[in-house]
Amino acid sequence: MPDPNKSLLDRLADFLTPQPTSPNDRRQELIATLREAQIEGLIDADALSMIEGVFQVGQLCARDILVPRAQIDWIDINLPLADLIKTVIEAAHSRFPVFEGSRDNVIGILLAKDLLRHVTEKDFQVRDWLRPAVFIPESKRLSVLLRDFKDNRNHLAVVVDEYSGIAGIITIEDVLEQIVGDIEDEHDIDEEADNIISLDNGDIRVKGITELEQFNAALGTQFAEEDIETVAGLVVQHLGRVPKIGELMTIDGIEFEVLRADPRQVHILLARQIPKSTD
């Protein structure tokens, strides 16, 4: 624990000199000291959050934040060109893993900009414009991966499990979000009116920051928790922790599926009402 008799600056200076304590203990001491600095107004809350995010990145592996294979927007190399273009437009991503035969056989990465630039060319073949896929193990540290992304000017990696199957994908944005928080682009839902979106299959797409009152009004539910104001807060309180991407949970007849989350908060969920049993 930090020595309360030392000044804040003295305690920060201590971290520049060797100490007998373990790296983890010193990390916790540093975070505690920085939190005190934030309370005293020496650094703002956003700066503290990013510093904590940097420490978090040092502790996490690819498996902790990857997009699971079931949630990937895949491209089958044998798709008719019209169907391929439709998939790219609807998904609105900039990069797509392309497979042939099996989704465990990723043959490259298709950039949407390459497709748009060259699709009108005579004898256009998608295979000719695939970028090499980068494969990484689930155990790869995010701090190392971020450096690799930077050095190799790569933005997406395919994550492979211990059996050489595809576990998911991870992007440079996924890693950076662990430091700076959620990064929303023009394709993310960002209007207050879009906190809750009804999908064609009957599911409801919900922002984690959606207030319970708004959620109740939209779905006819009656969630009311003391000191809990948002859907994300409801889910975290139910589990007793922040869930991971892909996790499912049922609360009072509503099944929630986590679409987007980081170790600190839930960003996007799917919600669906479970039909009541007729027995």
CATH of the domain at 243: 3.30.465.10
Count of domains forming the chain: 3
Q: Are residues 212 and 172 in the same domain?
A: no
pLDDT at position 251, please? 92
Q: What does the longest C-alpha to C-alpha distance in the chain come to? A: 76
pLDDT at position 41, please? 79
For residues 149 and 153, give the distance between their C-alpha atoms in angstroms, rounded to a whole number. 6
User: Which residues make Cβ contacts (< 8 Å) with residue 20, sequence separation at least 6?
Assistant: none
Within a domain: 75: yes
Mean pLDDT of the chain: 82
Within a domain: 187: no
Q: Are residues 175 and 198 in the same domain?
A: no
Within a domain: 255: yes
Q: Are residues 175 and 251 in the same domain?
A: no
Strand partners, 137: 160
Q: Are residues 130 and 229 in the same domain?
A: no
pLDDT at position 176, please? 86
Domain boundary among 180, 210, 231: 180
Backbone phi, psi, residue 180, to 5°: -105, 0
Q: Which residue has the higher pLDDT, 158 or 202?
A: 158
Provide the 3-class DSSP secondary structure of residue 45: helix
Q: Are residues 176 and 70 in the same domain?
A: yes
Q: Which of 69-73, 129-133, 170-174, 204-208 has the highest mean pLDDT?
A: 129-133
Within a domain: 58: no
For the record, the structure tokens of 203 come out as 């599911």
CATH of the domain at 168: 3.10.580.10
pLDDT at position 167, please? 93
Least confident window among 8-17, 37-46, 90-99, 232-241: 8-17
Q: Are residues 18 and 79 in the same domain?
A: no
Q: Are residues 68 and 135 in the same domain?
A: yes
User: Which residues make Cβ contacts (< 8 Å) with residue 130, sequence separation at least 6?
Assistant: 98, 107, 108, 109, 110
Do the Cβ atoms of 47 and 34 come closer than 8 Å?
A: no
Domain boundary among 129, 160, 180: 180
Q: Are residues 158 and 200 in the same domain?
A: no
User: Would the pLDDT of 174 be above 50?
Assistant: yes
Domain boundary among 155, 180, 205: 180
Percentage of the chain beyond pLDDT 70 is: 85
Label residue 38 exposed, middle or buried (CB < 10 Å: 0-12, 13-18, 19+): middle
Q: Are residues 117 and 169 in the same domain?
A: yes
Label residue 148 exposed, middle or buried (CB < 10 Å: 0-12, 13-18, 19+): middle
Strand partners, 34: none
Q: Are residues 208 and 160 in the same domain?
A: no
For residues 129 and 118, give the distance between their C-alpha atoms in angstroms, rounded to a whole number. 9
Q: Are residues 27 and 104 in the same domain?
A: no
Nearest one of 179, 182, 141, 173 to 154, comparing CA atoms: 173
- Per-residue pLDDT tens over the stretch 141-172: 998 999 999 899 889 999 999 988 999 999 99
Q: Is the dihedral of CA 172, 173, 176, 178 positive or negative?
A: negative
Residue 186: pLDDT band (50, 70, 90) is very low
pTM given for the model:
0.60
Q: Are residues 30 and 71 in the same domain?
A: no
Q: What is residue 244's DSSP assignment?
A: P
Q: What domain range is 212 assigned to? A: 192-273
For the record, the structure tokens of 261 come out as 């989350």
Percentage of the chain beyond pLDDT 90 is: 31
Strand partners, 256: 249, 271
pLDDT at position 243, please? 87
pLDDT at position 279, please? 53
Within a domain: 30: yes
